[in-house]
């Protein structure tokens, strides 16, 4: 799968909070938070490369991709940052936030096709 720089940033943003992803997994399949965190701690590194290379995903990676494909936190943060500083010291603009939402939606569609 071809991923743009912004799509990778959106995925990485979610991967950077494995505790939140573990909470979702624990609630979804009824395992302990500790088990979920351990599973993701082992499997999340390298997930972007695996997706980009169209490699098969194991059960836990599928859960992670589903989590990412249903998450809007990055786009919501962009909306909340309008008029404020964002990456690289630039202020977030409504146009930039709108672009992030569009890329986020496209990414979600791409990821859902993997599942």
* Residue 23, both tokens: 């909470």
More reliable by pLDDT, 89 or 102: 102
Q: Give the whole-angstrom CA distance, residue 61 versus residue 50.
A: 10
In order of 69, 71, 96, 99, the CA distances from 102 in angstroms are: 13, 13, 10, 5
Beta-bridge partners for 91: 85
Whole-structure pTM value: 0.91
Give just the sign of the alpha carbon dihedral 25, 49, 81, 107: negative
* Residue 51, both tokens: 């997706």
The answer to whether 58 and 97 have CB atoms below 8 angstroms apart is: no
Reference 77, options 4, 14, 3, 5; nearest CA is 14
Q: What is the pLDDT of residues 40-78, one digit of tens each?
A: 888 899 999 999 999 999 999 999 999 999 999 999 999
Q: What is the pLDDT of residues 11-23, one digit of tens each?
A: 999 999 999 999 9
What is the reported pLDDT for 12? 95
* Residue 112, both tokens: 């859902």
């Amino acid at each position: 799968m071809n991923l743009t720089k912004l799509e990778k940033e959106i995925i990485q943003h979610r991967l950077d909070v494995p505790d939140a992803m573990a909470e979702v997994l624990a609630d979804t399949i009824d395992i302990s938070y500790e088990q979920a965190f351990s599973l993701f701690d082992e499997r999340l590194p390298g997930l972007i490369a695996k997706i980009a290379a169209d490699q098969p995903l194991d059960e836990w990676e599928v859960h992670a991709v589903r989590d990412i494909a249903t998450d809007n936190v990055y786009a919501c943060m962009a909306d909340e940052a309008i008029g404020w500083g964002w990456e690289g010291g630039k202020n977030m603009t409504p146009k930039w936030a709108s672009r992030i939402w569009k890329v986020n939606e496209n990414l979600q569609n791409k990821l859902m096709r993997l599942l």
